Every structure is written in structure tokens, then in C-alpha cells.
A = this chain, B = another copy of it.
């Protein structure tokens, strides 16, 4: 077990830990495509046919043979015989022959013989069965061809891809009404501490209500996991060991909010370390808030020991839980960490070697974000309620000055 005082940077800690998580616990579940938004695809999906399945016009106009329009101009229009209309939603039965044109609407099927569409705006009509084309059309102009969007057997969606609204649209274009997605990882939450009581209880003097279980539950569910609340455990290693074993058995990952005191944290670390191989990988991260965080893997399943203070617990969970959920689902492409900058309104101090995440109020001024740090205590949850974002203070900074451009993360 590593020493508490040998602190790793958050990204080193993250990497060491994610690497030990087993990739074998990814299971499929069938879901309606309409309910698949935000889920991860379990297998590749290939195209059973090309898309579009027939050539279409992209404008309102006339289907023509492009060559018939070459050289046309306002002064010297090309005269074409109007021989019919393609109705929307119907097969174009008429054939465009040399010197003829067919009226067509946006999305209509390109009739046989035609290889381009002249826009309505580039035509005139002096007689009922004739049009004058005043601008030449190039072959394929204003059309989409069979298979231009997707070819048969093309992989349209990859295993491990995130399903967004546009992917749902793509699936529907193929009439794929249900898909195999990755079953949501079940993440257990264990709250510990002799002083912690459920929110439904009126705390006696000396007790506090459980906050962490509920911020963590919302965070887990928001990021594609399924939170499983295991309740509150007193600062008792035997009881914690028991409930942790049950959680590891039922779930794919476990969050334990360690008691607040150093001895409670050491006890939590000890119990986690004894609950599976390789055990505790990281105890202590060079970060504020959240330094005493514990990262462990027990027989392939990730376990996080979170500080008991609600602000620290939230910041550590917000950093480590989403990548963990992605890893547990075999996500192929990590979502981009949104890089947003703001201008700092006042000086802030920080300790070199440590990354700081400071709650901040954000305002927009002349198209630029201003970040006003909230001087917080990590046990005051309403300090975080007042924040729009967290300011990132990198490890190599010795404080930051008013006016500096800083990286922020919206909450």
C-alpha cells in the first residue's frame, strides 16, 4: 500500500488507477432506439443498404440532362420541353430524354435519364409545355446520388460509440428500432461516519445529515451510471468490510465516503485494501480540495474512497467518476474535456505542486467570461451551490493574478 504522504498528481493517479480496471465487465442490454440517447453502443452496426436508396433532387426545379443546358444564358436560354412532374413520395415513372425536362421538388426522386436539376430560379416559362433555362447545370448538380450518405456494408456506428440525438436519427433512417447498448454500470454508494444520519432524520446536536450519498447519486446517474445507495455505516471496520463486500458483489464499482478524521480515513483505506486485488493504488492526491482521496481496484472493480467533506467529495467524484463510468462501458472515444477560459477578477494564492479547483461565480462581460473565486471551506455545501464553475489552478502555478486567463469547468 503506497504511503499517504507520497502524493500523485491527479492525472498520474487517474492513469494508474484506470489501467487496473477490468475491461471484461461490459454487458449488453437491448433498448428501444428512442430510449438510447446517452447510452453506449454494444456492437458495430453496418448499413444493410445504401442511403439514400434513390437519387434525389436537393432543390425545387427541373430534372434535365446537363448537356442540354451547356452554354445557356439569359440572352440565349436553352429551350426544353416540359414532359411531366415527379410527385413527392412517388417513384418517378417518366424518363427524361434529350431536349426534355421534368418538374421536380426538393427531395423528389430523380427520373431516369436526368443527371442534374436546374433550380426554378434559373428558368423561365413562356409556354405551358416549355421552359427556358438561363444558366447551365453541371452533371450531378443539385442532386444527391444513391449511397452518397452511406454505402452498403459501411459501419454506420461503432461499438463503444456514444448515442446522441443525431445517431438516433441515423438509426431511424435505417428503420433500426432497437439496439444493443452497454448495460449501465451499477455504482454503489456507501456513506460512513458515526455522526452521519439519513436526511429524513432530525439530527441531534453533534450529528449531521448525509449529503454525499445524494450529490453522488445525481452525479452518477447524470453521467450514465446507475447509482445504488447502500446506506450509512458507522466508523467500524467490521461493518464497513461487510457492506463493501456486498457492494462489490452486486455492483460494478463502489464509492465510499470515508469518515472525516484521519483515523477514519486510514480505517477505510485498510478495509478497501483488504477487499480485493490489487487493492489501494493511490491514497492521497496532490489536489485541493480532496487530498485524502483513495483510488483502488478490488478484483477488477474500481473503488473510490472519497473525503467526507461534501465539497471535497463532490470535486473528487466530479473528476474521477465520469472517466470511470466511461471505462466501465468500453467507451471508444473519451468525451472532450471542454477547454474554456475566463479572466480572473482577483488574485488567488495556491501551493506549487498542487492542483486547485476553486468554486467560482461566472459572469459574461464583452463576450468574455469573468471568474470570481468563492473562498470556500470544503465542509460548506452551499459554497458550491453558489458556484457556476470551478477554476483550475495548475500544479506549476504559485498563485494566480487578477486579470490572468484561467481554465474553468462549468458545473
- Rounded to whole Å, the gap between the CB of A54 and the closest CB of chain B is 5
Stretch at the interface among A14-22, A88-96, A270-278, A294-302: A88-96
| Complex interface: stretch among A65-73, A123-131, A172-180, A243-251 | A172-180
Partner of A203 from the list B53, B210, B214, B379 (CB cut-off 8 Å) is B53
Taking a contact as CB atoms under 8 Å apart, the answer to whether A339 and B369 are in contact is: yes
Interface membership of chain A positions 121-150, coded 1 if the CB is closer than 8 angstroms to chain B and 0 otherwise: 000000000000000000000001000111
Task: Say if the beta carbon of A383 comes within 8 Å of chain B.
Answer: yes
Whether A210 pairs with B172 at a CB distance below 8 angstroms is: yes
CB of A225 closer than 8 Å to a CB of B: no
- Which B residues touch A84, using CB under 8 A? none
Q: Which residues of chain B have C-beta atoms less than 8 A from A90's C-beta?
A: 206
- Stretch of A5-13, A23-31, A191-199, A280-288 contacting B (4+ beta carbons < 8 Å): A191-199
Q: What is the 8 Å Cβ interface bit string for chain A, positions 158-173, against chain B (1 contact, 0 not)?
A: 0000001111111011
Give 15 A-B contacts (CB < 8 Å), ordered by A residue.
A54-B206, A87-B206, A106-B260, A107-B193, A107-B308, A107-B379, A108-B195, A109-B206, A144-B377, A166-B387, A174-B209, A175-B199, A336-B369, A338-B340, A339-B340
For residue A145, give the distance in angstroms from its CB to the closest CB of chain B.
11
Q: Which of A379-396 contact B (CB under 8 A)?
A: 379-385, 387-388
4 residue pairs, one from A and one from B, having the closest CB atoms = A89-B195, A165-B218, A106-B260, A169-B215
Size class of A's contact patch? 35 or more
Which of A199, A222, A338, A411 has its CB near the most chain B CB atoms (within 10 A)?
A: A199
Contact check, B380 vs A148: say whether CB atoms are below 8 A apart: yes
Shortest beta-carbon distance from A390 to chain B in Å: 11
**A347 within 8 Å of B by Cβ?**
no
Please, how many angstroms separate the alpha-carbon atoms of A209 and B176 in the complex?
Answer: 11
Say if the beta carbon of A235 comes within 8 Å of chain B: yes
Rounded to whole Å, the gap between the CB of A102 and the closest CB of chain B is 13
Minimal Cβ-Cβ distance residue in B for A36: B218
In the complex, what residues of B have CB within 8 A of residue A58's CB? 377, 379
Chain B residues whose CB sits within 8 angstroms of the CB of A268 once the complex forms? none
Residues of chain B within 8 A (CB-CB) of A262 are 60, 106, 120
Tell me the nearest residue of chain B to A221, going by C-beta. Answer: B37
**Copies of this protein in the complex:** 2
Contacts of A108 in B (CB 8 A): 195, 206
Partner of A385, one of B106, B170, B211, B310: B170
Tell me the nearest residue of chain B to A196, going by C-beta.
B89
Most buried by B among A168, A177, A196, A235: A168
Q: A214-B34, A339-B369 are in contact. Are A169 and B377 (CB under 8 A)?
A: no
With contacts A204-B91, A206-B54, A215-B169 taken as known, whether A382 is within 8 angstroms of B150 at the C-beta atoms is yes
Is A259 part of the contact surface with B, judged by Cβ < 8 Å? Answer: yes
Contact B165 A92 (CB under 8 A): no
Cα of A37 to Cα of B174 in the assembled complex, Å = 34
A105 to chain B, nearest CB (A): 4
Best-buried of A105, A207, A314, A410 by chain B (most CB within 10 Å): A105
**Within the assembled complex, what's the spacing in Å between the Cα atoms of A216 and B381?**
36
**Residues on B with beta carbons closer than 8 Å to the beta carbon of A175:** 199-202, 209
State the CA gap A120–B211 with chains docked (Å): 27
The answer to whether B89 and A165 touch across the interface, beta carbons within 8 angstroms, is no
Interface positions, chain A 337-351, Cβ under 8 Å from B, are 338-340
Query: A380 touching B149 by the CB < 8 A rule?
Result: yes
CA distance A367 to B337 in the complex (A): 11
Q: Point out the residues of chain B lying under 8 angstroms from A164, CB to CB.
A: 218, 411
- A411 and B166 contact, CB distance less than 8 A: yes
A400 within 8 A of B: no
Tell me if A168 and B89 are in contact (CB < 8 A).
no
Is A56 an interface position by the 8 A CB rule? yes
